[in-house]
Amino acid sequence: MSDPFVVVGGDAAGLSAASKFARERPERDVLVFEKGAWISYAHCGTPYYVKGEVERLTDLLSLSPEDAAERGIDLRRHHEVTAVDADAKAVTVEHDGETTRQSYEALLVATGAHAVTDPIPGADLDGVFTLHGLDSAAAIRAYLSDPDDDDIAAVEQVDRALVERYADRTPPERVAIVGGGYVGVEMAEAFRSRGLETHLFQRPEQVLPPFGEAVGERAADHLRDRGVHLHLDTSVERLVGDDHVTAVAHEGGTTGVDAALVGIGIRPNTDLLSETGVELGGSGAVATDDYGRTTVEDIYAAGDCAEMRHAVTGEPAWVPLGLTANRAGRAIGQTVAGDREPVGDIAGTAVVKAFELECGRTGILDHDEARAAGFDPVSETITAGSRSGYYPGGDETTVTLTADRETGRLLGGAIAGRDRAAIRIDTLATALESDLTGAELERLDLAYAPPFSPVWDPVLVAAKVLRGSLD
Amino acid sequence: MSDPFVVVGGDAAGLSAASKFARERPERDVLVFEKGAWISYAHCGTPYYVKGEVERLTDLLSLSPEDAAERGIDLRRHHEVTAVDADAKAVTVEHDGETTRQSYEALLVATGAHAVTDPIPGADLDGVFTLHGLDSAAAIRAYLSDPDDDDIAAVEQVDRALVERYADRTPPERVAIVGGGYVGVEMAEAFRSRGLETHLFQRPEQVLPPFGEAVGERAADHLRDRGVHLHLDTSVERLVGDDHVTAVAHEGGTTGVDAALVGIGIRPNTDLLSETGVELGGSGAVATDDYGRTTVEDIYAAGDCAEMRHAVTGEPAWVPLGLTANRAGRAIGQTVAGDREPVGDIAGTAVVKAFELECGRTGILDHDEARAAGFDPVSETITAGSRSGYYPGGDETTVTLTADRETGRLLGGAIAGRDRAAIRIDTLATALESDLTGAELERLDLAYAPPFSPVWDPVLVAAKVLRGSLD
């Protein structure tokens, strides 16, 4: 009997791989070691749990341990893989004070990422949170709301000590969000909908920097309109407090708060591989090839700890997103099962809801990034109606497109609006993964009917203007 | 001074061409002959005018005669072009009983299409309408509603006699719709929202045949759910009545009605070209090349009277839709102005709202049509959530994909659902115009965020299943 397929990490990438492998090769063993209590949960849903739009914490679990067992996965929670011996093809596992060794035929490292707080002194104060994992989501919600209003106590896996630390407190009235990326913007909606005075601090001049300037401005206007105090172009110097956070010290002053959320980014978890010879890429995440293989034989990596190939540049890139993790995990499960499947490229397609505003982005919008990849970038931004002008309920839709001047090839796009704007980014993602030029984009036969689009969809209007500046 | 660019037909294609030409060559003359009173209006908006969601008839006018003049277009309404002398490069024009001759340097035939009623005896009865043009929309609305509730009388162009014929009548209580295509489905919504007992008769077994069986079934269920009496697989034998329509005689019985709408199709207007040597294509519409040129020099055709090249088959096809007309007209205006621009292909992308259900389609779904074009078609249909399962407000989304078994190439797709379903068809339109395979579609990096899509968008779920049946 051959050694099992061993997976480190029981979230999206790890369990996608294990599930696919178990389905393809039911006669083989697949082991998943997860160091924590939670498996396969919806990170992206946590802001909506805090907001209350998602009622129960358990709603965010994609797969239960029982589901995993039913799929034929040998899932071991609270098992931490502490070392990899690539020559012997074995891992060291710690569980409950005991250390064991497990040999593998193939190993998938799907160790994810962790929230960064280190440039912010005071991030360890009481009342300061990151939103990485369900325990912090549960603690924030317990802090914000009546302790009886939810079912946290009923959830077996939850970090009860953490939740109880906040459940009995007086709910905060003023909150600081440090960081204006996805998490910051989504949490601003969550906090405002619970009536908190919400201050969002962002070091760059705009929120949602990967979405480009025009979408960022529109998002900022909308956030202000919904009562969020935006402090743009403002570095946070430290979080202030003796034991509990009481204020944010920032460029230009101090703002009193009762709680703070730090969402300034994540970093790949790669410590496990430090002695293995597995190479990291320029981003600090694990370098992988088209099949998710690392530089060491029979070791794969996927999800938030791994790089993938960028659809526009063809170069390695680290863009940790949910679909990428699921897709790469699934492909690796299939490859290890004996039927090679590429993990696919990433285009960096992302969408975010900021209150009623829908924002999307894909590819490369930043001109420095485009130039670094050898392109000569040109961008245009337009605003056009989302529906025929005479049909009620539409909204102005902002579209930014970036293309390469020499070839006309579309490099990236961003979009914002309140009427079916975000999902339109998929048209641009498909176009750029197909290497379409601005002219080809302009000639696409897209949908038109008054309730859904004007004759010339905003995407086509943008393509027309872009093409004008490419000629 | 050279002869002018002459355009026959003052709707989407004609005025797009004239506008583009006038902008590019302001020193040249462009003449548009329109035989009727209306120019450049939104056909697709007429059901929403009847429904009342669009308040004023004038809201549907895209361009006024004054706008046209301001753009430098010499617009002549109530001028009918009755003959083309291709050798002499001149047209014969009738206006107010006078016949004149106008020479041209280039001629664009944009004569559109007309509603078909001829297989239905009794279609000329009082109380029977087609919905082709603003006059019939105005008459239907006048008939349905309190004569004082709108501003029809204020519209200079309207066929006053027709409108007044219906304005003073008792509004109908029961209506028959003959035909379950776009117009039939949209008008069912309009009639139901005005409280009419609505019977929809459809000879095929499904509504919206170009959308395929699964979407058709879903639309039918939704129409029934909204109180529409569907008579599928039912031929209408004749409309019954002495003077005014009183019943529909159909297979299986007779249904009493007070009014009827016939929406069984349109046919290209090509009579003008019968003596010119301009060739028609197999569809009966005017054959054109990549630049909208007919088989006779300096004569172009565009819009609902012309064929275009199909993006999937590469063969000529007649798919009369609004964007196509606008795009082809604009391209021809540019070409005639001296800067050659292709009119683009058509993919037959179309979307329709049936009450709350959004339906979209693109490319080739019909297996006979696919086989006739040399493909070996395979189709799969899936249903998947439009949002993450835990996020409120989503809806089951139905996706049908068709691909060629040998190459895996995507040939067509259809989609239905109540949550941002229709606009997702643009992703499929872009994919098939880029010649993507099912496997490539499955690997696209599409958007994911709980309010907008599950991790695996319904489009990706469909691609995965399709690919399974292609392997």
pLDDT in tens, A321-370: 999 999 999 999 999 999 999 999 999 999 999 999 999 999 999 999 99
Nearest residue on chain A to B311, alpha-carbon basis: A445
Please give the backbone phi and psi of residue B235, each rounded to the nearest 5 degrees, phi first. Answer: -80, 140
Give the Cα separation of B322 and B392 in Å (integer). Answer: 35
Cβ neighbours of residue B462 closer than 8 Å, sequence gap 6 or more = B380, B381, B382, B384, B399, B400, B401, B413
Q: Which residues of B touch A389 (CB under 8 A)?
A: 59
Q: Which residues of B touch A54 (CB under 8 A)?
A: 390-391
Q: Which residues of B touch A430 (CB under 8 A)?
A: 427, 430-431, 434, 436, 444, 446
Nearest residue on chain B to A457, alpha-carbon basis: B323
Residues of chain A with pLDDT below 50 are none
Most B-contacting residue of A349, A357, A364, A430 (CB-CB within 10 A), to test interface = A430
- Segment B62-69 mean pLDDT: 93
Q: How far is A324 from chain B (nearest CA, A)?
A: 8
pLDDT at B109: 98
Please identify which of the residues A44, A153, A232, A439 carries the catalytic annotation: A44
Interface contact flag, A53 B391, Cβ < 8 Å: yes
Model pLDDT for residues B120-163, shown as the tens digit of each residue: 999 999 999 998 889 999 999 999 986 555 567 667 888 988 99
Give the Cα separation of B294 and A199 in Å (integer). Answer: 64
pLDDT at B423: 96
Mean pLDDT of chain B: 95
Model pLDDT for residues A7-57, shown as the tens digit of each residue: 999 999 999 999 999 999 999 999 999 999 999 999 899 999 999 999 889
Interface contact flag, B352 A59, Cβ < 8 Å: no
In chain B, the percentage of residues whose pLDDT exceeds 70 is 98
| Structure-block tokens of residue A362 | 């894909």
| Structure-block tokens of residue B257 | 């009605």
Give the Cα separation of B39 and B96 in Å (integer). Answer: 18
Domain residue limits, chain B: 5-36+78-113+267-336, 128-264, 356-470
pLDDT band for position B8 (50/70/90)? very high
Quickly name the fold that domain A128-264 has: FAD/NAD(P)-binding domain (3.50.50)
pLDDT at A132: 84
Q: Looking at domain B5-36+78-113+267-336, which CATH architecture does it have?
A: 3-Layer(bba) Sandwich (3.50)
CB nearest B422 (choices: A346, A426, A452): A452
A175 sits in which H/E element: strand A174-178
Active site residue A44: yes
pLDDT at B1: 62
Q: A128-264: same fold as A5-36+78-113+267-336?
A: yes
Interface contact flag, A429 B444, Cβ < 8 Å: yes
Of A202, A211, A150, nearest to A178 (Cα)?
A202
pLDDT at B118: 79
Query: Cα–Cα distances in Å, from A105 out to A2, A31, A87, A299?
Result: 7, 11, 12, 9
Helix axis angle, A212-225 to A182-193, nearest 10°: 10
Query: Count of A–B CB contacts within 8 Å?
Result: 202
pLDDT band for position B168 (50/70/90)? confident
**B455, A326 Cβ separation under 8 angstroms:** yes
Give the Cα separation of A424 and B447 in Å (integer). Answer: 9
Give the Cα separation of A440 and A414 in Å (integer). Answer: 18
Three-class secondary structure of residue B384 per DSSP = strand
Interface contact flag, A452 B351, Cβ < 8 Å: yes
Nearest residue on chain A to B310, alpha-carbon basis: A445
Q: How far is A93 from chain B (nearest CA, A)?
A: 31
Q: Which residues of A touch B450 (CB under 8 A)?
A: 42, 44-45, 48
Give the Cα separation of A31 and A40 in Å (integer). Answer: 15
Interface contact flag, B422 A349, Cβ < 8 Å: no
Interface contact flag, B351 A391, Cβ < 8 Å: no
Nearest residue on chain A to B349, alpha-carbon basis: A447
Of B260, B255, B262, nearest to B245 (Cα)?
B260
Of A411, A394, A393, A415, nearest to A402 (Cα)?
A411
Q: Which residues of A touch B459 (CB under 8 A)?
A: 426
Nearest residue on chain A to B182, alpha-carbon basis: A449
CB nearest A422 (choices: B42, B390, B447): B447
- How high is the ipTM of this complex? 0.96
Q: Looking at domain A356-470, which CATH architecture does it have?
A: 3-Layer(bba) Sandwich (3.50)
pLDDT at A155: 79
Q: Which residues of A touch B42 (CB under 8 A)?
A: 388, 390, 450
Nearest residue on chain A to B454, alpha-carbon basis: A323
pLDDT at A157: 84
Model pLDDT for residues B307-318, shown as the tens digit of each residue: 999 999 999 999
Give the Cα separation of B73 and B329 in Å (integer). Answer: 14
Interface contact flag, B426 A436, Cβ < 8 Å: no
pLDDT at A393: 95
Could you please report the per-residue DSSP string of B68-137?
HHHTT-EEEET-EEEEEETTTTEEEEEETTEEEEEE-SEEEE---EEE--TTSTTTTSBTEE---SHHHH
CB nearest A430 (choices: B352, B360, B444): B444
CB nearest B446 (choices: A345, A392, A429): A429
Interface contact flag, A456 B326, Cβ < 8 Å: yes
Interface contact flag, A45 B433, Cβ < 8 Å: no
Count of Cβ atoms closer than 10 Å to residue A233 Cβ: 13
Q: How far is A311 from chain B (nearest CA, A)?
A: 9
pLDDT band for position B364 (50/70/90)? very high
Please identify which of the residues B44, B90, B319, B439 carries the catalytic annotation: B44
CB nearest A429 (choices: B322, B389, B445): B445
CB nearest B351 (choices: A345, A431, A449): A449
CB nearest B429 (choices: A12, A349, A446): A446
pLDDT at A122: 96
- Segment B268-288 mean pLDDT: 96
Interface contact flag, B453 A429, Cβ < 8 Å: no
| Structure-block tokens of residue A438 | 């601005």
Q: Which residues of A touch B320 (CB under 8 A)?
A: none
Nearest residue on chain A to B433, alpha-carbon basis: A444
Model pLDDT for residues B386-437, shown as the tens digit of each residue: 999 999 999 999 999 999 999 999 999 999 999 999 999 999 999 999 999 9
B412 sits in which H/E element: strand B410-417
Interface contact flag, B429 A449, Cβ < 8 Å: no
